[in-house]
Structure formats: structure tokens, C-alpha cells
A and B are shown apart, each in its own frame.
Chain A
Amino acid sequence: MRRREFISLPAQALGGAFLYAVAGERLKLTAQDGAVEVPLRFFTEAEAKVVAAACARIFPTDASGPGATEAGAVIYIDRQLAGPYGRDKFRYTQGPFEASVPEHGYQGKESPRELYRAGVAMLAGFAELEPAQQDEKLRTIEKSVFFRLLRTHTIEGMFCDPMHGGNAGLVGWQMIGFPGPRMSYREEVDQHHGEAFRLKPTSLTQVVGRPVRGWEEEG
């Protein structure tokens, strides 16, 4: 097994180390700069930096609110790629692999892990570019299978339940007014018509009162 690698993320922005402690992760807290070192399962540290930088351009932190950095989208993606989804356990992967019409969707042989490994390799040095240069670079690959996957995963990392490693501190759900899974709206569903009805978001773990694990932890 390779040496474990970590990505360093600002703890405050991530909603505190609490969320990762809940998920049973081994954490390294660096007291001085308030960073939390999150262990990586699939990416190398260098890869994680590229992916985090790309996610931050897809879903930026800006005037309209927090983005992929605060949500920890890169951690979400790392966990998905390390789990059964990343290894294509939920896709039909028998050959022959043949190119077909767009109506047949992705027909390639490469798994999400392989697509990322190759895609990130093409973005060497990306994390060090200026934001405008980064956008320019991403525009050159925005039609690629890798970029479409990265875009989808970034949104998933923004708005998934935090048990999957994204949406840290529920920043994504707060931004869009999604309250998380709730047991009942029986008294509310025919009320608040035309008015925003917003509850403080809660995660699945908070709702059921015990840690809930994602599918990626099982395989």
C-alpha cells in the first residue's frame, strides 16, 4: 500500500473538523494555521491540488456565496473514486467496446478512476495558474468526457449529504435553501404557498441520530 497522502484544507471553511471525525477518518490538525489535513484515498497530493483548483473554477467562491473549496468537493470526489463507483462496479463493462451515436451515452472502456488519472495528468501545473488562465485552460477541455464527469462530481460534492465527504458544514444546502432529509412536511406542504419556507439544514446523520455511511464505504 502506498504511503498515505493528505490534502490540507482550511478547517474553518470546512465547517470544522467535526464532520470528518463523525465519518471515522484519521485527521491531522495543524493548530497554527487552522488547517485540517484530510487523508486521501485515491488521489496523490499533487492530483488533489489540481482537482481542487479545477472544482474551484467550476463552482467558484465568489460574491454569490461559498463554492467547491468550502464544500470540500475534492474530498467527495476522492472518496467516490476510491470506492466501487470509481472502480466501475455500477457500470456494464463487458466488451467489445465500440464507438456509437451520442444517444447511447459513454461507451468507453476507462473507469472513472482511469479517466481522472489521465485527465488530471493533462492539467499539470494547473493549480499554479491565475484564475483567468485556469478558466481558459478548462474551456479547451470542457467537452471532454473527463471534464463532464468533473463538472457533475463538483455539483454532487456541493450538494450531497456530508456523509459522502462533500457539502461540508452543509454550505451547499444553506445556499439553496434545501433543508436536508426531513421526516415530515405533513403540516407544511399546503402552507407557505409562494413564500420561501426555509428550515435550518440537517444531515441524514443528524436526522437519524447515529452515523450513516455512504455506499462508497462498503465496497
Chain B
Amino acid sequence: MDELDYALRFRMMQNIAEETITHRHSGRDAAVPVRQYGSFLPGGGTGGAGEHWQGMAFRFLESEFTLASHLKERFGAARLPDGLTVQDWGVTYRDLEPLYWRVELMMGISGKAGNLRGERVAGGNVFESPREHEYPLPPLKRTFAAIRFHEAAEKLGYHPFPFPAANLSEAYTNPDGVTRAGCAYCGFCERFGCMVGAKAQPTNTLLPVLSKRKNFELRTGCWVRRIVHKDGRATGLEYVDASGEEVFQPADAVVLAAFTISNVKLLALSKIGEQYDAATGKGTLGKNLTHQVAAAAMRVFFDRPLNSFMGAGALGTMVADFDGDHGFRGDEGIVRGGTFTMASPGGRPIAAFGSMPAGTAQSDWGTEWKAASLAWADRAALIGFNGEHLAYRQNYMDLDPRYKDKMGDPLIRFTLDWTEHEHRQRAFAASVQTRLARAMDVRFDAPRPGPTKYNVVNYQSTHIQGGAVMGASPETSVVDTHLRHWQVRNLWVVGASAYPQNASGNPTLTALALTYRAADDLIAASSKGGKA
């Protein structure tokens, strides 16, 4: 619970001194390394990013899984953005619904259903795709900021609802027999591990089950360098252990379950699959890199103190009236929207200091600035926007030709920039945010939407997707619909690297639902022939 070491020095993240990515805005530019963390934060240590996440536990919309077909049908090919490479996933929401439910039970999601088997339920997300079950736990408590947002949204005719949260609203025992305490609203979720175990993390939800298994062994502090394979079969892993010794671990089956970037990097370093080429469109590895259209939050200022030090990672209220492609008039020039939020994740003193309406102080230091910062302390909040980031031909990952990690292996290079569609999404978001802020009767910084370049400095979200996408054909995807590699059939690649494009909702729940699907496939494959 120390802001400096954990939220600002990134103590739970991979040490960027050892490994990072490089970035360039287009294929014509030279890539330079991301030298200090900014736009996203890959987790390090046991549990990875699953430890330091907020706990946002959204399902994706039905239309997300068949997005290419859906967009063509809804808008016609001529009206779609240039260079669009979105794809169908090869699985449907229907396939995943029971798996989503398994994940929700395993983590103990707190929330309110808005669509139960097609019946719209007031108070939940009435735009969500049909659920078979109400959430395992009721929603978390509500803060002042959330109530003001909720009331304003209702006044505008929108349908606000509480975030589904992996932060337990009350004590819970899951089907695996793991018991965790209810959330204490201490405000230290994102970038922190949960102090009481209320936030579902691999170490408090999965490890207690695994550590009882006789055939389970966890080796920490290891750095995997290659997946060794021969004639289309993975035979093991090469890694360097915590003491620096090189180890070969033989394997009957390999599950690659690192962060998106490391999954793609390990496939590329191990020469598994064909690197995507943006010029020709050939190859599949590295393609469809997406982030999240989230760099468009509107800062609002209340006339009352918010007590914003109280909170939880996934504590907040959302409006999904513009999610997917509902709620547009058609002249906004966009084909997918996103969701609007008022969150109370827990305000921390260093990061929060200095939030004031634009133009209040001439300088960002000195007497006038200090007085204004103090006057506005605990008054600021954000109307967030989580827009879908579509996949484009020119956004992809490959190995950087110049920069290396601490082992001397090439870094992953991002070629990534925003397009006209994202600029328009932000302009559209700004108009809705302005409506919401006015209805809340709060001061706000007037939005200044316009073209911006992708920025590695400011935090956006740790939602990095693609590079090893799933699909129904080896021509267009790296892994099949069970996340099994098309070329190396005893290798499963799980995580958001499999997403053909980004959805508005946070990626964790879907990543876990797909992991259950992959695990079922691995078990079936193993029981059939003894070996995968």
C-alpha cells in the first residue's frame, strides 16, 4: 500500500531495464525503445498482470466475436474504415457463455445482470448479450461520484449500471472451495496486490488449488527463451533459471501463457509460424495488434469533496448505450463505439495532486499553483471512455532489428498509430462526455479532440491484444478456436494475444473463458492418445 514503490516505480511490473518493446508510428519511421513505463504495464512475478489489475470483469458483446461479418452486414464494405483487418474469432458468444459463467463463479464476480436469457433487467447492463445466470454476488457499494454520474445518466435517458467486479462485495467461497474476504474499499487495487484477498488474483484464487496437486511445481524467477520444436511438435522449453543456469525442460505439451507481447515474442524467437508482412498481407504472426481507445477521459470537478481515497479497482458506474454499434445516428463516421464510466478506484496523493480546471493557474509550480491545487484537492474525477480499437493492416508486431533484451534476444517492435476512425471515436466520445458532465452539473475541461499520435508516455490501459490471433483457418490466424497452434499441435497459446481485435470491455474475463476452452481441449487431447 505504498504509492511510490508500487504505483510510480512499478514494483509489481516486469523490470523494463531487462526487457521492453520498441515503437514506431509507421513502417517508414525508425523505432525507438519504450525506455520507461507509460501507456501499459505488463506484470512481473507469479500471477503477472492478473495480480495488479483493477478487477473489471466484463463479458464481450455477441457481435464482437463475428465482427468482420457483422460490420459488413451492418454498414456494407464500402463504408468501413480503410485497411480494416478485423476478423471473426471462429467461436461465438454462445460457445463462450457457459465458460464466462465458469470464470464468474471461480472469481466470484459482483454485479447486476441486465439481460437474463433475453429478459432485460433494470439496473443491470440492458445492452449486454444474454446471460444464463445472475452474477454470483451483488454489486459493490456506491460512492458519491458514482451516484451523481448514475443520476445524470438516467436524466439523459441512458441505462447506467455498476461495473461487474472481481473485487468481492462480500465473503465468497468458489466451486473449488477457495474462500476469500469481501472488499475493504482501501483504494489500493490497480498496480497493487490485494491486501485481504478480495480481488481475484492467480495467487489467491488459483494457486491455493494448484499447490495441493502432487503433480504441480511452480518455478519462479525463470526466463523462457525458446520453445524447442521438431517436425511440428514442441519437445520442450529452454529457459534460464533464477540462479542464471540454462535449463532444457522436456515437455509432452506446452501452454504459452505469458503476456500478449511475450507470447508473440517467444513464437517469433522460436521460429514458429510465419511473420506477418504489412506490405503483402502474408503471414499471420504479429498481425492485428490493438490497444484500447482509452486516452480520452474528461476531467470533471465537483463542488463537494469526494473522499476519493476510498475505493476499489472495479468500483464504478458505466453507461453502455453507445457500446458496440447501438446508439449511433450514423453520421458520426464510426462503426464501433464504446462505454462511458465514472470510477472510484481510490485516489492516491502524489498522482492526484495538481488536478484543477484547465487555466486555473499560470504555472505548474509555485505559490499560485500550490494554492489552486489545494483548493481543488479531492474534487476531481474522470468521465472515462473505453472505445473499441479496431485492427488495421498497418498495426502489427515483429522482432526489432536493433534493440535487445537482457539475454541478447531481439525486442518486440510495435508499429502502431491511431487512425481517422479513432479520432472520430474520440470526437464522438467528447460529445457524450460533455452531455454527461452538463447533466451532472459539474465543471469540466472542454474536450479538445483532434488527431493525436499514439503515445507511449501516458497510461492508457494494459489491454494489448493480438499478434497470435485465433480463427477458423490457418490462412488468417495463428491458433485455432481452441487456442492450439496451427503448425505445432501440442502447443497452446492463451491470453489476449488471441484476440483478432480489441473490444470495449476489459480483456481479462474473455481471456479466462478462452483458457477454459483451451484447457478442455488439452485434457481431451491428452486422454485420447496419452500424449497431447
Binding site for B on A (CB under 8 A): 57-60, 62-65, 67, 85, 88-94, 96, 98, 100-107, 135, 138, 142, 151, 154-156, 158-161, 163-164, 172-173, 175-179, 181-186, 188-190, 192-197, 204, 207, 212, 214-215
**Contact (Cβ within 8 A) B38 A105:** yes
- Contact A104 B23, beta carbon cutoff 8 Å: yes
Tell me if B349 and A172 are in contact (CB < 8 A).
Answer: yes
Query: What separation, in Å, do the CA atoms of A210 and B472 have in the docked complex?
Result: 57
B398 within 8 A of A: no
Complex: A105 Cα to B33 Cα, angstroms: 10
- Bound state CA distance, A190 and B312, in angstroms? 12
State whether A182 and B349 are in contact (beta carbons under 8 Å apart), knowing that A92-B36, A107-B35, A189-B310 are contacts in the complex. Answer: no
| Residue on A nearest B195 in the bound complex, by CB | A183
B185 in contact with A184 (CB, 8 Å): yes
Whether, in the assembled complex, B64 has its beta carbon less than 8 Å from a beta carbon of chain A, the answer is no
Are the CB atoms of A103 and B457 closer together than 8 Å?
yes
20 contacts between A and B (CB under 8 A): A64-B370, A88-B17, A92-B17, A98-B32, A101-B453, A135-B366, A142-B365, A161-B2, A163-B2, A183-B184, A185-B187, A186-B185, A189-B141, A189-B310, A190-B142, A195-B304, A204-B1, A214-B5, A215-B5, A215-B9
* Interface size range of chain B in the complex: 35 or more
Which residues on A sit within 8 Å (CB–CB) of B20?
92
Looking at chain B's contact residues, the main secondary structure is loop
The answer to whether A105 and B35 touch across the interface, beta carbons within 8 angstroms, is: yes
Q: Please measure, in the bound complex, the distance between the C-alpha atom of A175 and the C-alpha atom of B373, giving whole angstroms.
A: 11
Which residues 268-312 in B have Cβ within 8 Å of A in the complex? 304-305, 307, 309-311
**What's the nearest-Cβ distance from chain A to residue B380, in Å?**
12
CB closest chain-A residue, reference B312:
A189
The answer to whether B4 and A104 have CB atoms under 8 Å apart is: no
Are A103 and B349 CB-contacts (below 8 A) given A177-B378, A190-B142?
A: no
Inter-chain CA distance A62–B369, complex, in Å, is: 12
Across the interface, which residues of B come within 8 angstroms of A103, CB to CB?
Answer: 25, 453-457
Contact: B186 with A185, CB < 8 Å?
yes
Q: A185 contacts which chain B residues (CB < 8 A)?
A: 184-187, 310
Q: Which of B182, B186, B365 contacts A59 (CB 8 A)?
A: B365
Give B23's nearest chain A residue, CB to CB: A104
- For A207, the chain B residues whose CB sits under 8 A away are 1
Could you say which residues of chain A place their CB within 8 Å of the CB of B36? 90-92, 105-106
Contact in complex: B353, A158 (CB < 8 Å): yes
Contact A178 B349 (CB under 8 A): yes
A160 to chain B, nearest CB (A): 5
Given A64-B370, A106-B35, verify A159-B186 contact (CB < 8 Å).
Answer: no
Q: CB distance A181 to B310 under 8 Å?
A: no
Interface SS majority for chain A: loop
User: Nearest chain-B residue to A54 (Cβ)?
Assistant: B365
Q: Which residues of the partner chain A approach B365 to less than 8 Å between Cβ atoms?
A: 57-59, 138, 142, 151, 154
What residues of B have a CB within 8 angstroms of the CB of A88 in the complex?
A: 17
B142 to chain A, nearest CB (A): 6
Contacts of A177 in B (CB 8 A): 305, 377-378
Determine which residue in B3, B4, B404 has the highest number of CB atoms from chain A within 10 A of its CB, and name it: B4
A94-B403, A214-B4 given. 19 additional CB < 8 A pairs?
A63-B371, A64-B367, A91-B36, A104-B32, A105-B457, A106-B36, A107-B35, A159-B350, A159-B353, A161-B4, A163-B2, A177-B377, A184-B184, A185-B185, A193-B143, A193-B147, A197-B305, A197-B310, A215-B5
B30 touches A156 (CB 8 A): no
Known: A90-B10, A159-B349, A181-B1. A62 touches B16 (CB 8 A): no
Closest to B455 in A: A103
Bound CA–CA A172/B33 (angstroms): 36
Instruction: Collect the chain A residues with CB atoms within 8 Å of residue B309's CB.
Output: 178-179
- In the bound complex, do residue A175 and residue B403 qualify as a contact, i.e. CB atoms below 8 Å apart? no
Contact A94 B38 (CB under 8 A): no
The residue from B38, B350, B370, B457 contacting A156, defined by CB atoms under 8 A apart:
B350
CB neighbours of A94 from chain B (8 A) = 33, 403-404
Neighbouring A residues of B30 by C-beta, 8 Å: 98, 100
Closest to B141 in A: A190
Give the CA-CA distance A154 to B32 in the complex, in Å: 29
| Chain B residues closer than 8 Å to A65, beta-carbon distance | 370, 374
B11 at the interface (CB under 8 A from A): yes
Do residues A90 and B195 form an inter-chain contact, with CB atoms below 8 A? no
Q: Which of A91, A135, A163, A186 contacts B182 (CB 8 A)?
A: A186
Expressed in whole angstroms, the minimum distance between the Cβ of A54 and any Cβ of chain B is: 10
| Contacting pair A155 B404 (CB below 8 A) | no
A194-B195 Cα distance, complex, nearest whole Å: 28
Taking a contact as CB atoms under 8 Å apart, the answer to whether B32 and A107 are in contact is yes
B153 CB, nearest partner CB in chain A, Å: 17
Q: Which residues of A contact B187 (CB under 8 A)?
A: 185
